[in-house]
Amino acid sequence: MGMVGGGNDAFIGAVHRIAAFMDGKIELVCGAFSANREVSLQSGRDLFIDESRIYPDYKTMLEKEAQLPEGERMDFVTIVTPNFLHYEPAKLAMEAGFDVVVEKPMTVSLEEAKSLQETVERTGKTLCLTHTYSGYPMVKQAKAMVAEGHFGKIRKVVVEYPQGWLSRLTEREGHAGAAWRADPKRSGKSLVMGDIGTHAAHLAEYITGLRIEELCADLTTFVEGRMLDDDGSVLLRFNNGAKGVLMASQISAGEENAVRIRVYGEKGGLEWANEDPNNLIIKMLDIPRQIYRTGNNYIAPYTLSSFATHNTRVPAGHPEGLLESFANIYRNFTATVMAKKEGRTPTPEEMDFPNVYDGVRGMAFIDTVVKSNQSNEKWTKFEV
Amino acid sequence: MGMVGGGNDAFIGAVHRIAAFMDGKIELVCGAFSANREVSLQSGRDLFIDESRIYPDYKTMLEKEAQLPEGERMDFVTIVTPNFLHYEPAKLAMEAGFDVVVEKPMTVSLEEAKSLQETVERTGKTLCLTHTYSGYPMVKQAKAMVAEGHFGKIRKVVVEYPQGWLSRLTEREGHAGAAWRADPKRSGKSLVMGDIGTHAAHLAEYITGLRIEELCADLTTFVEGRMLDDDGSVLLRFNNGAKGVLMASQISAGEENAVRIRVYGEKGGLEWANEDPNNLIIKMLDIPRQIYRTGNNYIAPYTLSSFATHNTRVPAGHPEGLLESFANIYRNFTATVMAKKEGRTPTPEEMDFPNVYDGVRGMAFIDTVVKSNQSNEKWTKFEV
Amino acid sequence: MGMVGGGNDAFIGAVHRIAAFMDGKIELVCGAFSANREVSLQSGRDLFIDESRIYPDYKTMLEKEAQLPEGERMDFVTIVTPNFLHYEPAKLAMEAGFDVVVEKPMTVSLEEAKSLQETVERTGKTLCLTHTYSGYPMVKQAKAMVAEGHFGKIRKVVVEYPQGWLSRLTEREGHAGAAWRADPKRSGKSLVMGDIGTHAAHLAEYITGLRIEELCADLTTFVEGRMLDDDGSVLLRFNNGAKGVLMASQISAGEENAVRIRVYGEKGGLEWANEDPNNLIIKMLDIPRQIYRTGNNYIAPYTLSSFATHNTRVPAGHPEGLLESFANIYRNFTATVMAKKEGRTPTPEEMDFPNVYDGVRGMAFIDTVVKSNQSNEKWTKFEV
Amino acid sequence: MGMVGGGNDAFIGAVHRIAAFMDGKIELVCGAFSANREVSLQSGRDLFIDESRIYPDYKTMLEKEAQLPEGERMDFVTIVTPNFLHYEPAKLAMEAGFDVVVEKPMTVSLEEAKSLQETVERTGKTLCLTHTYSGYPMVKQAKAMVAEGHFGKIRKVVVEYPQGWLSRLTEREGHAGAAWRADPKRSGKSLVMGDIGTHAAHLAEYITGLRIEELCADLTTFVEGRMLDDDGSVLLRFNNGAKGVLMASQISAGEENAVRIRVYGEKGGLEWANEDPNNLIIKMLDIPRQIYRTGNNYIAPYTLSSFATHNTRVPAGHPEGLLESFANIYRNFTATVMAKKEGRTPTPEEMDFPNVYDGVRGMAFIDTVVKSNQSNEKWTKFEV
């Protein structure tokens, strides 16, 4: 794989690399790690990249790599730059024949997102979007149980992502990641929705299989001097009549990455939390609560879904975490790409990773929330 | 004390009695326990009430008891009838010279509520409203910490009360409590907000000391055949600029009484949950999370508030629950009434129980939510 | 009821009174609350006791009360004095025709305990021992599930009671409760086993229905200047071949009353913890974990045991705690006493409270642990 | 790295590989993956190993690799065979000039262990033992806090490792891992202590810095037909006078890998659990409980230890698990080896991985437990 962004000073690049390396099947062979040539070079060297393949910029990288013979050239590109630098490299990469992995949010506008969708459809390449929470085995188990009707018709969805790290004006305290995220030029229309709200929205739709149809949002900038919102609450209405609430906040002081989702149907509900990801709490009417745990060989009718077991690496009781969920996305993406190369239809488990259509919905979600926030109308249609 | 309602077939009457008896200072001396004379008589006998003081109705009870000499007649009346039968007995009782305890919601309309407020102000009697969650020691500790500025200015409040017991058409399954609650004539304008939403709203205002100023609500009736709503989500705006979300649901299948509140300020946040009531989770920026627990003799600066310790009966590590929180409300109410009788100013700890003003706000909350739900305007003012 | 001990300066007396009053069926009519006449008088007055029935000592109380006509005289005596003052009042009370409630440990020696057993058998009176943890609904559910074979043959029992309140020389810091507990003359042979170890041993035998047959103990006095042990660990062997570990500690700094028991059988295990008493965690082989919770109307095959529901006062999701578990013991004891008076056989649920035989086993447990601790032999027989 | 054992049918080999690959600095270049040539070849191919370096056995591997030029030949050997096949390859590898990673327990006898210690001392090579629980950041934080005297003198240690997967005669059900573990010829003197008890003993000594001096053990074989013990409880006495309990069980039906340790000192205690590894619960006298969590930038005096932060990969709130703790051991081991090669003294953080001396203590622990179990003496000295 090749990497755009992810130099030594970036957190998420390292996460992508660990996730990619974990299963021993992906090698980092080239990169344009930073606009700062020195940082890029040093990052590349630290990663054992041959100096000739540490490129000054992504255009050069795409051009040069495309000229290398297959087998030698990179197989795909991972784009881990700030949001405003996702679109162009992703588009060009696909047009140059490379599959791509893009950090979320996919772009900084719905138009760009739709353009990427068009590029995918035109080039036949695969775009993978790293909505990491959908990579957890127990999230996949939740999705499977909803899909098989375990809870009956879904009525209520509560999804939240509270963080506290932007409770102060962190972007002015020398924190590079905060600085670009809080800058509308590099981040997009909404800080809180772009950075974490889309994760919550994706998780809700991923698990329930439902689509948000309309919403009512209230966005706030609590920290003085900040240029974008840092907190948002959204009432949701889904396409089957279900209702919901989505909360995303970066001023929930003291919270870390407390993603949590609860889904209630006619017959029972489920609860999953990122900070305790190997437990899936099932609350059915009339019977004791159940806790499904990653990696167990339950017997029928409790057998874990193939989507859960396919994405599990260690036996029950040994915790798996963020890096494994991230690695699941990489593993499924590369398996799909490989299958396509081999002319084989990927299995449903292999195709189970967020793609360009999720990215388009994510950008539409941000747009709709921002639009609703500015409106005095109660409900704003969610349209793609 | 005398009791209106609370016959053998009612759940909440028994809770009130246990709460009242617990500290050995309150005796039940009379009652009009049920409109059904047989039920009332049997209930009274089971409670060792002298038959002459088991009254056919509350009017008779008030009239007869008022004629008894002080010391012999009941000291106060507890009203635990369905919502529509709170107003008149409460009003008449105060006018007959009795202090009153009323189950929440205080009445079925804001007008009635305001009339009770007027009655309190006119008669000088004390009205206590049993918002039980405010009776927990760790809720009081939370309130005290907010008040002393521990968290800085409050920015975000998330309060929720999910239940699942009305996931089916329980009111048609012979469940008396469900039947009257789901009947607009006996329950009021909103099932979910009247029954549990007001608890959540009161808890939020009680802990934060803030006032809801405007809100945006979405109410739903999920169960076919039900005459009132069974789920509601509300965006909140508080008088200091804080934002919030209130969720109340009776179709969150599998949930019991999962009241939970989270409050975030500039410097940290707090979390309290009814189903684990002796833990108060404090999450401050930059330091490890802390768990304050009921009944501890912490040293400064962690010393538990006098409001917490005053409302604690057993040493740390021995759980206290609903009945103790309920008993705290009774104990504080009766201490206040006693102080007034003795011509003494009650202490702040004694006066710390929900009163007629909380009741008025509760009814205004229900009204505002219902009005917002019917409106296409995003924001509806919360006015009393 | 009458009370021996439990003056204003004693913690456990208040707990007994709340537990007794809670259901509105027990009244405190007399007492000898303290050896200090002033304390006794003041305590009695605070409890609204007629001054003529605040007695200078328990002998006078027993004598005078026995002379009162039935219906007027106390129905039973509660003894909440320090350990060394349990035996004589209990014995005399039964001989005077009164049933008794005694705090644990029942006496300060096995001989005294056996003498009380003889007195019970001779007089036909009922002795109730307040092993409070056995009063919790989910403990009763655990017992019922073991009894019905849910877990298969029991193999392993881990029971523990860590506290930290004696981490310092508390008994010299003006703490009356610590002072007598740490004094061998008033407390007995072992501090940690007498005060809390017997609770753990009783809980293990109560839930499993097994009997400890031999054990191997290591007792320690960690705090310099203390006259008795403050920590103990014991290997257990049960009569069915099961093995176990019992830990009791009062120097586990930072712990409150963290009683916890785990029981494992051939097919699964259970876990219950005092500080979270309304959850019973069931871990069966091959299926997801289950959490049984107090107060639920589960359907078959999950229906809660009649022993659990009989001892529950409020609906699911409303926590019950120590005082309710304590009140269950009082309620069952008084129901049994009442049944006997009415010539009726008490139901199994009514008879479900710790009795004199549990008290004898408790004293034998303390004796055996102390003997084992002094021995170089690995195993010491547990004999009554 | 080269690998001995760890063919496609082995669980732990895959764990080692993921842990080694994760940081992108270790490559698997050769292996003798299985005694079964076909399995070995297929495993090697699946791992992209050049066929010429998939060796028929470890002797051939060591011989051939030693002949390759530095830079090309493997840098170290990982040995993940059943216990009885650790000793010889480890010894030969070191004698052939290779550093080694060995799965625990290090050998099947104390004599072998001491011989490896002698080999390490003679050859100057580095032996790393994968006691994975010591790789967790919060375990390292616990160790650091004990070392700096946060809890005062340590008094009590409770360490436990309950599992349930051997509740049935799993070794006869076609489970390869169970089969060799339950076979004394391949596993050693004790199943439960060799497989998991040594983890618990290591964790206790690692965190506290104390040494077990004597112990009293009770081992049991609960499952009929099993050739070795499957449950054990041990009373511990440490070199500073602290007492402890160690429990290891494979018949605790329903448990997964519920490693848990509690340590109590004069001033407070700590608690850590493998199934919730990113929380370190700190319970100090007189103040609220604290929860230290992985990856936080706490300010003084709460600053996380450099040993914790050095072993953390992702920000707070993103769970890390077994694979990361395992990878920490690999990373520290290889950093140490690299430092030695570069003639540099490794940092304390780099040298922080279990080594041959831990392995010797582990084997001595097993020996002592087995000896104690067979003895009627209460206490057996722990001697190395």
Domain membership flag for residue D321: no
Residues B345, B197, single domain; the answer is: no
Closest alpha carbon within chain C to B319: C321
Which chain C residues have any C-beta within 8 angstroms of a chain A C-beta? Answer: 282, 286-293, 296-299, 302
> pLDDT band for position D11 (50/70/90)?
confident
How close, in Å, is residue A18 to chain C by CA atoms?
A: 31
Instruction: Judge whether A115 lies within some domain.
Output: yes
- Verify that A277 and A192 share a domain, yes or no: yes
**Is the residue at A176 inside a domain?**
yes
**Domain interval for residue C9:** 2-129+330-353
What residues of B are in the C interface, CB distance below 8 Å?
11, 14-15, 17-18, 21-25, 28, 47-48, 163, 255-258, 274-278, 293, 295-296, 313-324
The CA distance from C303 to the nearest CA of chain A, in Å, is 8
User: Which chain D residue shows the shortest CA-CA distance from C287?
Assistant: D254
Q: Which of the 8 DSSP states describes residue D156?
A: E
Interface contact D156-C231, CB threshold 8 A: yes
Express each pLDDT in D161-217 by its tens digit: 999 999 999 999 989 899 999 999 999 999 999 999 999 999 999 999 999 999 999
> Tokens 């120097």 appear where?
C251
- Which residues on chain C place their C-beta less than 8 Å from a C-beta of chain B? 11, 14-15, 17-18, 21-25, 28, 47-48, 163, 255-258, 274-278, 293, 295-296, 313-324
Say whether both A155 and A172 belong to one domain: yes
CA neighbours closer than 13 Å in the CB half-sphere of residue B198: 31
pLDDT tens digit string along A219-245? Answer: 999 999 999 999 999 999 999 999 999
Distance CA C197, CA C247 (A): 7
Task: Kindly state the helix (H) or strand (E) to which residue C61 belongs, with its residue range.
Answer: helix C58-67
Peptide bond into C301 cis (omega under 30): yes
Burial of B237 (0-12, 13-18, 19+ CB in 10 A): buried
Contact check, Cβ <8 Å, D286/B299: yes
**Do residues B223 and B365 both lie within one domain?**
yes
Contact A352, A332 (CB under 8 A): yes
**Contact call for residues B309 and B316 (beta carbons, < 8 A):** no
**CA dihedral sign of residues C52, C57, C58, C63:** negative
Q: What does the alpha-carbon distance between residue D106 and residue D98 come to, in Å, rounded to a whole number?
A: 17
Q: Give the chain A residue whose CA is nearest to the CA of C293.
A: A288
Whole-angstrom Cα distance, residue D318 to residue B111?
A: 51
**Is the residue at C117 inside a domain?**
yes
**Three-state secondary-structure class, residue D219:** strand
Is A250 inside any structural domain?
yes
The CA distance from C133 to A303, in Å, is 36
| Spatial separation of the C-alpha atoms in residues A332 and A349, rounded to whole Å | 7
C296 is written with which tokens? 């639920």
Same domain, C106 and C10: yes
D300 min Cα distance to partner chain B (Å)? 8
Check whether residue A301 and residue A176 sit in a common domain. yes
In contact, D71 and D44? CB cutoff 8 Å: no
Per-residue three-class SS string for C266-290: CCEEEEEECCCCCEEEEEECCCCEE
Farthest-apart Cα atoms in chain B, separation: 65
Q: For chain A, 384 residues long, give each residue's pLDDT as a single digit of tens.
A: 999 999 887 788 999 999 999 999 999 999 999 989 999 999 999 999 999 999 999 999 999 999 999 889 999 999 999 999 999 999 999 999 999 999 999 999 999 999 999 999 999 999 999 999 999 999 999 999 999 999 999 999 999 999 999 999 999 998 989 999 999 999 999 999 999 999 999 999 999 999 999 999 999 999 999 999 999 999 999 999 999 999 999 999 999 999 999 999 999 999 999 999 999 999 999 999 999 999 999 999 999 999 999 999 999 999 999 999 999 999 999 999 999 999 999 999 999 999 999 999 999 999 999 999 999 999 999 999
Residue D9's pLDDT band (boundaries 50, 70, 90)?
confident
Which chain C residue lies closest to B323 (C-alpha atoms)? C320
Query: CATH code at B22?
Result: 3.40.50.720
Count of structural domains, chain A: 2
* Other beta carbons less than 10 A from residue C363's beta carbon: 26
Euclidean distance between CA atoms A66 and A25, whole angstroms: 21
| Residues C283, C214 share a domain | yes
Residue D275 in tokens: 């199934």
Q: Which residues of C touch D287 (CB under 8 A)?
A: none
Query: D256, A296: Cβ pair inside 8 Å?
Result: yes
Strands (E) located in chain C? 2-5, 30-32, 76-80, 99-102, 127-129, 154-162, 212-220, 231-238, 243-249, 260-265, 268-273, 279-284, 289-293, 380-381
Q: Does residue C261 share a domain with residue C152?
A: yes
C-alpha B90/C-alpha B277 separation (Å) is 31
DSSP code of residue B197: I
Does any domain span residue B266?
Answer: yes
Q: What is the pLDDT along chain B (384 residues), one digit of tens a residue?
A: 999 999 887 788 999 999 999 999 999 999 999 989 999 999 999 999 999 999 999 999 999 999 999 889 999 999 999 999 999 999 999 999 999 999 999 999 999 999 999 999 999 999 999 999 999 999 999 999 999 999 999 999 999 999 999 999 999 998 989 999 999 999 999 999 999 999 999 999 999 999 999 999 999 999 999 999 999 999 999 999 999 999 999 999 999 999 999 999 999 999 999 999 999 999 999 999 999 999 999 999 999 999 999 999 999 999 999 999 999 999 999 999 999 999 999 999 999 999 999 999 999 999 999 999 999 999 999 999
Residue C321 lies in a domain: no
Could you tell me if D33 and D171 lie in one domain?
no
Strand order in the sheet with C76-80: C30-32, C2-5, C76-80, C99-102, C127-129
- The pLDDT assigned to D10 comes to 79
**How far is Cα D261 from Cα D268, in angstroms, rounded to an integer?**
14
Burial (CB < 10 A; 0-12, 13-18, 19+), residue B148, is exposed
Among A232, A301, B316, D93, smallest CA distance to C255 is for B316
- CB D291 to CB B288 under 8 A? yes
Q: Report DSSP letters for A321-335, one per residue.
A: -HHHHHHHHHHHHHH
| Total residue count of chain B as it appears in this document | 384
pLDDT above 90 for C330:
yes
CB contact under 8 A, D293 and B288: yes
Judge if the upstream peptide bond of residue C105 is cis by omega within 30 degrees of 0: yes
Taking alpha carbons only, the member of C334, C267, C324 closest to residue C294 is C324
Give me chain C's average pLDDT, please.
Answer: 97
**Residue A358, pLDDT score:** 98
> In this structure, are B75 and B213 located in the same domain?
no
Would you call D122 helix, strand, or coil by DSSP?
A: helix
Based on the fold, state whether residues B60 and B191 are members of the same structural domain.
Answer: no
Report whether pLDDT(C11) > 90. no
In a domain, C323, yes or no: no
Interface test with A, best of B235, B271, B272 (most A CBs within 10 A): B235
Kindly list the residues from chain B whose CB atom is less than 8 angstroms away from the CB atom of residue D290: 288-291
* Chains linked to D by 3 or more Cβ pairs within 8 Å: A, B, C
Q: Is the peptide bond before A89 cis (omega within 30 degrees of 0)?
A: no
Residue of chain C whose Cα is closest to the Cα of B277:
C319
Sign of the dihedral defined by the CA atoms of residues B337, B338, B341, B343, in that order: negative
Residues D98 and D16 grouped into a single domain: yes
Task: Tell me whether residues D253 and C289 touch, CB distance under 8 A.
Answer: no
> What Å distances lie between residue C145 and B139, C201, C275, C306, CA to CA?
35, 19, 21, 11
- Pick the residue from chain D with its C-alpha nearest to C374: D378
What's residue D362's pLDDT? 98
Residues of chain B with C-beta less than 8 angstroms from the C-beta of A254: 264, 268-269, 282-285, 289
E-strand spans in chain B?
Answer: 2-4, 30-32, 76-79, 99-102, 127-129, 154-162, 212-220, 231-238, 243-249, 260-265, 268-273, 279-284, 289-293, 380-381
Minimal Cβ distance to B252: which of A156, A218, A251: A156
Q: What is the identity of the amino acid at D287?
A: I
Residues of D in contact with B316 (CB under 8 A): none
**pLDDT tens-place string over residues A324-339:** 999 999 999 999 999 9
Express each pLDDT in C52-68 by its tens digit: 999 999 999 999 999 99
CATH label of the domain that carries residue B247: 3.30.360.10
Q: Is the pLDDT of residue C145 over 90?
A: yes
Please answer yes or no on whether A314 and D296 come within 8 Å at the CB atom: no
Q: How long a stretch of residues is chain A? A: 384
Angle between helices A87-95 and A58-67 (to 10 degrees): 10
Residue in B17, B21, B136, B296 to test binding to C, most C beta-carbons within 10 Å? B21
